[in-house]
């Protein structure tokens, strides 16, 4: 029973560490990182309809709405002028599948996943610090007890 409690608390604090990191990014004003494909950690497989709409409106500025734009690999393209790039993007997405910016944010920025098992990478300092904060919150809650939370809620 104690072993199961320890395992659940370890897992729970990992999820809390992710939430702390998301909260920190939200508070620092970088919340668009998980909704756009224009970040350094995004891959060519990233697809966001918001980016396509932004490119269309950007390219249509002064063109009476006749241009259809699309976003690929960090740049905006005109679909009629860059048909080969659009076809390449379509082929790329059909082979592997398009990935949402939120999924790439989690896997490439939060988890810092590597491409293979041979490349284990270094220590993920963002998550390590957030994990320590999560354990600090847990220790504080255990030390002060749940009564303190009830007093703060009033």
* Separation between Cα atoms, residue 118 and residue 125, nearest integer Å: 20
| Cα(78)–Cα(66) distance, integer angstroms | 10
pLDDT single digits (tens) 113-144: 887 888 887 899 999 999 999 999 999 888 87
72 or 55, higher pLDDT: 55
The whole model's pTM is what? 0.74
- pLDDT band for position 110 (cuts 50, 70, 90): very high
Which DSSP letter does residue 45 get? T
Rounded Cα distance between 17 and 23, Å, is: 10
Reported as a pLDDT band with limits 50, 70 and 90, residue 50 is: confident
Q: Are strands 69-72 and 75-78 parallel, antiparallel or unpaired?
A: antiparallel
Please work out, in degrees rounded to the nearest 5, the angle formed at the alpha carbon of residue 115 by the alpha carbons of 10 and 110.
40
Contact 130/24 with Cβ under 8 angstroms? Answer: yes
């Amino acid at each position: 029973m104690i072993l199961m409690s320890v395992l659940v608390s370890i897992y729970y604090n990992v999820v809390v560490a992710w939430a702390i990191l998301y909260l920190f990014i939200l508070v620092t004003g970088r919340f668009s990182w998980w909704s756009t494909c224009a970040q350094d950690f995004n891959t060519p497989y990233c697809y966001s309809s918001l980016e396509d709409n932004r490119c269309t409106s950007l390219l249509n500025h002064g063109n009476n709405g006749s241009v259809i734009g699309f976003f690929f690999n960090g740049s905006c393209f005109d679909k009629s002028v860059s048909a080969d790039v659009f076809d390449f993007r379509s082929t790329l997405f059909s082979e592997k599948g398009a990935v949402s910016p939120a999924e790439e944010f989690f896997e490439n920025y939060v988890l810092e996943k590597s491409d293979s098992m041979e490349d284990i990478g270094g220590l993920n300092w963002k998550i390590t610090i957030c994990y320590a904060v999560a354990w600090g919150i847990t220790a504080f809650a255990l030390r002060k007890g749940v009564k303190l939370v009830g007093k703060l809620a009033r």
